[in-house]
Amino acid sequence: MEFSSSLYVYKLKPGQCRVKNLEYDFVVSSDANGFRNGIRTSNYYDIAVIGDSFAHGVGVADDQTFSSILESTYHYQTIDLAIGSYATMRELEVLGEYGKDAKYVVVQYCDNDYGENLASLRLSKEDFRSQVETAWRGLIATYHEGKAQGYRKPIQDLGVMLRDHSYMSKSAWRSSAKLGRPMEQEAAAFAQVLARYRPLLEGKRVIIFEAAMWGENSPKFAATFGSELSKIDWLKYKLLNTADILGYEDYFFLDDHITTRGHRKLADVLAREITQWESTDPIIKNR
């Protein structure tokens, strides 16, 4: 990654980067603008995808992301503008700079966007950007400190967890994760951020879905977010309930991201929704 003077604070360095973990080994190909479009051969696009690491495609190869499948299988020209940790305002800032000509915008939401969405509504743009950069420079420093310790770091972390009993079964964690999520407040903050970008979004068709960590997608997502978005009378949108689309088996076991199977499911559903929209009122030309 590299820092930028723009409001989205950072993006990827152009080129390739290999990411290897216990559960996956893949290469990220970034274009000249710093987004995961290195395999694309055309500058033309009809669909822009914005989101965080789920839409970016952590854990899968370049040609296995749902963005790539929308283009290779369904022939919808698509650019992926998602970067890990972005929340809604930064995603829309990127869209305005690199995807403003899109006819369809796919917005991937995550429950951890809520805190940053609140900050983006509360702070000035200058203070918001400063806060994000300071936080990320701190995370980078912590990462390098841990990496310098080598294998001592995970062993030390495991020892602390065992000592403090700071662990639970996955089933118990899933049960606890369902409690206390402020869905109405999340929806209100999300809608308020979108409403600020009327000049960018008006006239486009927007498809919104949730990708929560480890498959904890809320069955209430479409209803609660739809209630708030319906107040924005100029917005043309559809909401997908990923609780009905993705299961726990569509996520890695240790890592919290979506597997190749999950990306394929998302691409299939998104293509179906876009095709239905196009069948009644086509706006994509020369497919």
CB burial string 115-145: b at 16+ within 10 A, e below: ebbbbbeeeeeeebbeebeeeeeeeeeeeee
d(CA 162, CA 55): 34
Domain ranges of the chain: 2-123+183-280
Structure tokens belonging to residue 239: 């909401």
- Nearest CA to 254 among 140, 170, 178, 172? 170
The SS3 of residue 79 is strand
Mean pLDDT, the chain, rounded, equals 95
Contact 123, 67 (CB under 8 A): no
Residue range 192-202, pLDDT digits in tens: 999 999 999 99
pTM: 0.95
Least confident of 75-84, 89-98, 169-178, 210-219: 169-178
| Residue pLDDT, tens place only, 54-69 | 999 999 999 999 999 9
Question: 242: pLDDT confidence band, cut at 50, 70 and 90?
Answer: very high
Q: Which phi-psi region, left, alpha or beta, contains residue 76 (left: φ > 0; alpha: ψ -120 to 50)?
A: beta
Distance CA 195, CA 188 (A): 11
Tokens representing 157? Answer: 């972390």
Closest alpha carbon to 4 in 121, 79, 93: 93
CATH architecture for segment(s) 2-123+183-280? 3-Layer(aba) Sandwich (3.40)
